Structure 1
Amino acid sequence: MSALNAFVVAVELAERRRDAARQTLASVQGARQAAQAQLDQLTGYAAETQQRWGPKAGAAVQPEVMHHHYQFMGRLDHAIGLQTQTLSGQDQRVAQARQALLQAELRLASLRKVLERRRADLAQQQQRREQKQTDERASLRAATRTGAVDQE
């Protein structure tokens, strides 16, 4: 029975690990969504700024203003590049968290299967013991009846 208790404890531990892996995945997915939202905001702002400051027919803009605009757009493009790298890192973290969750779920499923098999084996052993005891009692009764009949 202690071996069965050890498997029950192992299953409970595996469940806690699976739950922790599930929570980690949710957290990492939330961070990835936040990174994606920030990237979307940056690209939207860049597109809006380019549209507002882009070359217009017949518009005269001083060279210094255009220089500052190009400089600002360069910095904005750099920020978009950095955010894209951040998003790529978040994608990797999500993939790793998914894999960890999958491994935890597989471990839990295998432990549950072993536990159920052990329980079935113990139940079968118990049934055999009970059957053996029943057979022995029946044999003793038959022997006592036969002995009682022989004595008459």
Structure 2
Amino acid sequence: MSSLQSFIVAIQLAERRRDAARQTVSNLQNARAAAQGQLDQLQGYAQETQGRWGASEGRVMQPVVLQHHHQFMGRLEHAIGLQGQVVRTQDQRVAGARQTLLQAELRLASLRKVLERRQAELALAQQRREQKATDERAALRLAGVAARYSMEE
């Protein structure tokens, strides 16, 4: 039974690791969603700003104002690029965490399968012991009946 207890402890540990991996995946997915939200906000702001400037194309603007607008849009595009990299990094982290979760689930499944086999082996061995004991009792009873029968003759 101690070997079964060892497997049960190993399964409990594997379940905790699987649960921790599942929580990590969830946390990373939330962080990725937040990063994507920030990227979407930046892109929306850039489109909105560009749309406002496009609507005022007929107006005459000071060269300094145009220069500031281009600088601002350049910085905004740079920020969008950086945030896109953050999203891609988060994608990689989520993929890695999912792989870790998959490995934890496979480990847990294999431990459970081994435990089931061990339990089946022990049950079969117990059944055989019980059958052997039953057979021995039956043989002893038969020997007793045969002995009484031979005494009667």
Structure 1 match to 2:82: 82
35-44 or 52-61, which moves further after superposition? Answer: 52-61
Matches within 5 A, 1:1-150: 1-54=1-54, 56-150=56-150
**TM-score normalized by the length of structure 1:** 0.97
Counterpart of 1:11 in 2: which secondary structure? Answer: helix
For 2:56 and 2:36, the matched residues in 1 are separated by 32
Tell me by how many angstroms 1:149 deviates: 1.1
Counterpart of 2:46 in 1: which secondary structure? Answer: helix
Equivalent AA in structure 1 for residue 41 of structure 2: Q
Equivalent AA in structure 1 for residue 4 of structure 2: L
For 1:8 and 1:27, the matched residues in 2 are separated by 28
Counterpart of 2:58 in 1: which secondary structure? Answer: coil
For 2:114 and 2:76, the matched residues in 1 are separated by 57
Counterpart of 1:61 in 2: which secondary structure? Answer: coil
String of CA shifts for 1:27-73, please: whole Å, max 9, x gaps: 00000000000000000000001111236443111001001110100
For 1:38 and 1:108, the matched residues in 2 are separated by 37
Equivalent AA in structure 2 for residue 26 of structure 1: S
* Change over 3 Å in CA distance of 1:57–1:33 after alignment to 2: closer
Q: How many pairs are equivalent?
A: 152
String of CA shifts for 1:91-125, please: whole Å, max 9, x gaps: 00000011001000000111100000000000000
For 2:148 and 2:46, the matched residues in 1 are separated by 106
Equivalent AA in structure 2 for residue 69 of structure 1: H
Equivalent AA in structure 2 for residue 12 of structure 1: Q
String of CA shifts for 1:72-91, please: whole Å, max 9, x gaps: 00110010010000000000
For 1:138 and 1:55, the matched residues in 2 are separated by 103
